[in-house]
């Protein structure tokens, strides 16, 4: 009896330790301002947040401060996790005013600030007053160190855009991950400008805390020809004995 109690006590301690030691797993954000895509990703049950930027808002035709703020509020109500809303100002005073206004829209709004001189000032200011931030347009480890030092909650390296210039975006994530670990920086690495499911896998391996991707990159993760072939065969064998569907309709059903 005593031995069992000791054993279960140990096992509980190990579970708590395990929980404390294990890093939390990579979060999935969707990179869009499109409400249908957000809803679809949410239905998969894997959505942890949303990132937007002025180009994505423009793509949805959302314009004028009132409409933009209304759109952010809708997204913030749809998704429980963090929603990045980007400032348009490029001077410190403007970014602070805009950022405070955005942060007031909903408790899960994170203010997105560009990696420029006044942006770094704004990141420090927001960190000191408890407003969470996402430092955007990060393309080098030097920028990533500045953002983390200024207290950014998230730091967003743009993987796809780095790849476009013939450099390897994943090297930046790996370098940031090593530096943040060595130095104990608490900012989370948010892999942005993701173009494919391969980018998502590589970002996970390189140590990203969050990956933000368009819906098609998330769906790309589902695809493997052997899954489709295997499922079609299972269904075909089932239906051979049980009747019902034809082979072609089975293969159609099995396509993901
Ligand atoms: C997200 O925060 C970024 O704004 C976004 O991922 C940029 O992606 P793009 O390079 O595909 O425009």
Residue from 206, 203, 183 nearest 194 by CA: 203
* pLDDT at residue 22 in the model: 53
Ligand 1 geometric centre to CA of 20 (Å): 32
The set of catalytic residues is 112
Q: Does the pLDDT value for residue 13 go beyond 90? A: no
User: Quick one: pLDDT at residue 243?
Assistant: 82
Query: pLDDT tens across 202-233, in order?
Result: 999 999 999 999 999 999 999 999 999 999 99
Report the separation in Å between the CA atom of 239 and the middle of ligand 1, taken as the mean of its atom positions: 46
Q: What gap in Å lies between CA 120 and CA 123, rounded to an integer?
A: 5
What SS3 class is residue 196?
coil
Q: Are 136 and 113 in contact (CB under 8 A)?
A: yes
The residues, ordered by sequence, that sit 6+ positions from 195 with a Cβ below 8 Å of its Cβ are: 159, 160, 163, 217
Hey, whose CA ends up nearest to atom 5 of ligand 1?
193
pLDDT digits (tens, 9 = 90+) for 153-166: 999 999 999 999 99
Nearest CA owner, ligand 1 atom 8: 193
Give, for ligand 1, the residue of 29, 48, 50, 53 to mutate: max count of ligand atoms closer than 8 Å to Cβ: 53
- What would the pLDDT profile of 121-155 be if each residue is shown by its tens digit? 999 999 999 999 999 999 999 999 999 999 999 99
Q: Output the residue whose Cα is nearest ligand 1's atom 12.
A: 193
Q: 195 CA to middle of ligand 1, Å?
A: 9
CA of 45 to the centre of ligand 1 (A): 23
Position 111 confidence tier, pLDDT thresholds 50, 70, 90? very high
pTM equals 0.88
Q: Please give all residues whose beta carbon lies within 6 A of any atom in ligand 1, as ranges.
A: 31, 51, 53, 136, 156, 158, 160-161, 192-193, 212
The minimum-distance atom of ligand 1 relative to the CA of 160 is: 10
Q: Name the residue at shortest CA distance from atom 1 of ligand 1.
A: 192
* pLDDT recorded at residue 23: 59
Token match 């098609």: residue?
Answer: 216
Of 213, 150, 207, 149, nearest to 173 (Cα)? 207
Confidence of residue 10 (pLDDT cuts 50, 70, 90): very low
């Amino acid at each position: 009896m005593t031995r069992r109690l000791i054993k279960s006590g140990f096992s509980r301690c190990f579970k708590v330790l395990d929980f404390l030691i294990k890093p939390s797993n990579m979060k999935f954000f969707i990179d869009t301002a499109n409400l249908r895509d957000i809803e679809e990703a949410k239905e998969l049950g894997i959505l942890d947040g949303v990132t937007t930027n002025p180009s994505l808002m423009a793509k949805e035709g959302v314009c004028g401060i009132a409409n933009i703020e209304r759109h952010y509020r809708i997204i913030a109500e749809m998704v429980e996790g963090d929603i990045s809303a980007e400032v348009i100002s490029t001077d410190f005073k403007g970014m602070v005013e805009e950022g405070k206004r955005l942060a007031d829209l909903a408790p899960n709004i994170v203010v997105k600030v560009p990696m420029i001189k006044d942006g770094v000032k704004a990141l420090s200011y927001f960190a000191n007053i408890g407003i969470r931030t996402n430092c955007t347009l990060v393309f080098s480890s030097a920028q990533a160190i500045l953002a983390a030092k200024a207290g950014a909650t998230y730091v967003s390296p743009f993987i796809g855009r780095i790849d476009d210039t013939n450099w390897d975006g994943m090297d930046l994530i790996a370098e940031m991950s090593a530096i943040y670990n060595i130095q104990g920086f608490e900012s989370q690495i948010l892999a942005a400008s993701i173009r494919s499911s391969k980018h998502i896998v590589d970002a996970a391996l390189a140590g990203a805390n969050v990956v933000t991707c368009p819906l098609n990159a998330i769906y790309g993760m589902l695809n493997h020809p052997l899954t489709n072939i295997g499922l079609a065969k299972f269904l075909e064998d089932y239906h051979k004995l049980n009747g019902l569907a034809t082979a072609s309709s089975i293969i159609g059903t099995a396509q993901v």
